[in-house]
Amino acid sequence: MATFKYISKDMSAKTIRGTLEADDRNDLVRKLKEQNLFLVSCQDVTKKTVNQYKMKLNELSAYSREIGTMLASGLSLIRIFSIMVRREDNKKIKKIYENIYVKLQQGYTLSAAMEAQGVAFPNLMIQMYRSGEASGNMDKTALTMSDQYSKDHRIKGKTKSAMMYPIILIVITIAVLLIVYLAVLPSFFDIFQNVELPLITKINISISKFLQDYWYFVIMILVGLV
């Protein structure tokens, strides 16, 4: 539903201005006729909202798979999105589908409707859909994009899993070093007094004293690195 600002005339040719909600221009004309008014001009002043939700790889894959499968079965895009809107549980994604559904009813192409959704869809995906529209192979394009984003999602998951071990190892290493420098070495300070120590030992003692005196500074550095 869009909001139109209109200029109309009544039966006595008197100019009447106002705003009215309608599905499109034709619907606006019909509603004005019911009030014995004749449309002169109108402007769509619907408040524009841009989605800030960026769909994840698995969501993009599911989106393309549904479109490709239903297009291949002969359903129209408007019918497809009416189904997708009803079935979607995620409120943010549902809002995106609703916006696309409205755009399609207004005569937009699917790629243009997707482009109007802010950061929801990646530019590459939009351009691929635009190519599919031009070639008439939208169903194949959608299914190809579904496979691609599904693969990307699996690779991303494997990358995260592969990174877990080194991250855990680094955390444990830092924890052990802190225990050594803050708890173990200080207990030997009195023993090492007035004793000539090797350079490496002196460096470790200096690090230990620095950590004891400026531990808050070290925490700030670690937080900054994270």
Q: Which position has the higher pLDDT, 163 or 191?
A: 163
Does residue 158 lie within any of the structural domains? no
Q: pLDDT of 97-133, one tens digit each?
A: 999 999 899 888 999 999 889 899 999 999 999 999 9
Asked if the structure places residue 29 within a domain, the reply is yes
CATH at 123: 1.20.81.30
Question: H helices within the chain, ranges in order?
Answer: 25-34, 57-72, 77-87, 91-105, 110-115, 123-135, 138-179, 189-192, 199-213, 215-225
Evaluate whether residue 129 is within a structural domain: yes
Task: Calculate mean pLDDT across residues 134-158.
Answer: 94
Whether 52 maps to a domain, the answer reads: no
pLDDT value of position 49: 52
Q: Say which residue, 51 or 27, is predicted with more confidence.
A: 27
Residue 111 lies in a domain: yes
**Is 138 buried (19+), middle (13-18) or exposed (0-12) by CB count in 10 A?**
buried
Q: Of 153, 172, 187, which closes a domain?
A: 153
- Identify whether 49 is part of a domain: no
Mean pLDDT of 188-193: 76
Same domain, 35 and 114: no
Q: How many domains does the chain have?
A: 3
The answer on 143 and 65 residing in a single domain is yes
* Domain region containing 169: 164-225
* pLDDT for res 109: 92
- As a whole number, the mean pLDDT across the chain is 88
* 51 within some domain: no
Same domain for 63 and 101:
yes
For residue 110, tell me if it sits in a domain.
Answer: yes
Q: What is the pLDDT of residue 153?
A: 94
27 and 98 fall within a common domain: no
Same domain, 75 and 131: yes
Same domain for 92 and 25: no
pLDDT digits (tens, 9 = 90+) for 32-61: 999 999 999 888 876 555 567 899 999 999
Q: What is the per-residue pLDDT for 161?
A: 87
